[in-house]
Structure 1
């Protein structure tokens, strides 16, 4: 059980790192480099900056001018990725508290509920990142294959693949952590059943021993002989 929780926690943590890397990356979309020469340049853009580089290695970036003038899908992707990072962070904290191998969190049932809550955070984080990357990729592909689109066409950037991988790891880790709720409840109920059986067994054994001792004592103990004592008392009285 502990090994499975550790694997799920590491998967969610790596997924969170990939989500952060995709969020701050500037290669969400880029132009093709297939026909690049020494003087050729290519453009790549992210959620926060527009960059241009050449084959020599010089890269120049500038931030988006204003938030209000941005296209709607970029703003939506920004909000989704920030939400994914926040949910993944809280999921990591709750998973660390609720894991069985840690000494904090309370009883096994409480730790299982905390771990399940962390799993839900990881799952939501993965779906937010998956939605943002898929929305951005859909916009790129629709513009690329549209014959009526005459502006600069872009291809899928590396940040999208990193975001997809991170979302898959977060969802996987979250699902495994959510399964620990049933295990923790069943483990605590089995412990309670064992304690109940132990207490009832001890009580029944004590009562049976008490009954056996009482019957044996009453059976083997001879009744008091009052006649002999009264006779001796009478004889002594007359003497």
Structure 2
């Protein structure tokens, strides 16, 4: 019962992390900046993996999408690939987790379900690592430009999407690890069942080897018969008479 509860909690954590990772991919605010002048001329700059935009004080936004992928910086291409991989791995991990959980009716025996659950946990862990790497690479580029005194272009700060991605990554890694450890109870219980069946079959074969009609237990067969021993003693006393 405890392993089933652990699987449910792990599935909740992993799925929640995967949803956060998926919502991070189209989020606008990966990096933000502002150009503060007077109240009228204040403008906000923000960018993500797909476009860069500017919003003035009236709320009007002008965006420029990244048209050519080959013309992009290498870190943006890497972040895109890692985030898409994280979403795909989390999707398949959710499907495998539904099949491998003990509370579901599909997946076969408990041993097969445990293996599928472990496979799902590995997918969630890899998904969390991909998302964590993507957000960390993007954040490293922002911080390195911000603290570089020789960088004179527009400097940005960390956006909300990065923190959401980090949170989803931690949940995916935690849930995947819990799924992998939850299979230990399944393999232990299966070994106990095999040992019990083996011992039962061995005792049954030992009893069935005796002729029919002698329905005594093994312990009773091992104890000597009192009447037989008394007869032998009586025969020994009168043998020379």
TM over 0.5: yes
Measured after TM superposition, the shift of residue 58 of structure 1 is 3.0
* Structure 1 match to 2:143: 141
* Structure 2 match to 1:127: 129
* Structure 1 match to 2:117: 115
Note the residue ranges of structure 2 that are not aligned, 5 or more in a row.
Answer: 222-226, 228-241
Q: Deviations over 1:41-75 (max 9, x none)?
A: 11100001112223443333331121111001000
Structure 2 residue 102 is matched with structure 1 residue 100: yes
Higher share in helix: 1
Matched position secondary structure for 1:52: strand
Residues 32, 155 of structure 1: 8 Å contact kept: no
With normalisation by structure 1, the TM-score equals: 0.83
Matches of 2:13 and 2:109, distance apart in 1: 25
Residues 34, 43 of structure 2: 8 Å contact kept: no
Measured after TM superposition, the shift of residue 201 of structure 1 is 3.5
The farther-off stretch of 30-39 and 95-104 is: 30-39
Q: Deviations over 1:119-153 (max 9, x none)?
A: 11000110100001001000000000000000000
Measured after TM superposition, the shift of residue 211 of structure 1 is 7.3
Residues 32, 157 of structure 2: 8 Å contact kept: yes
Q: Deviations over 1:67-117 (max 9, x none)?
A: 111001000000000000111111111011000100111111111111101
- Matched residues, number: 216
RMSD: 2.3
The farther-off stretch of 149-158 and 23-32 is: 23-32
Residues 42, 56 of structure 2: 8 Å contact kept: yes
CA distance 1:153–1:196, change in 2 (3 Å): same
Matched position secondary structure for 1:162: helix
Matched position secondary structure for 2:64: strand
Note the residue ranges of structure 1 that are not aligned, 5 or more in a row.
Answer: 220-239
With normalisation by structure 2, the TM-score equals: 0.82
Residues 96, 116 of structure 2: 8 Å contact kept: yes
Within 5 A, what are the aligned runs for 1:1-239?
1-32=3-34, 37-206=39-208, 210=212, 212-213=214-215
Structure with higher Rg: it is 1
Matches of 1:84 and 1:33, distance apart in 2: 34
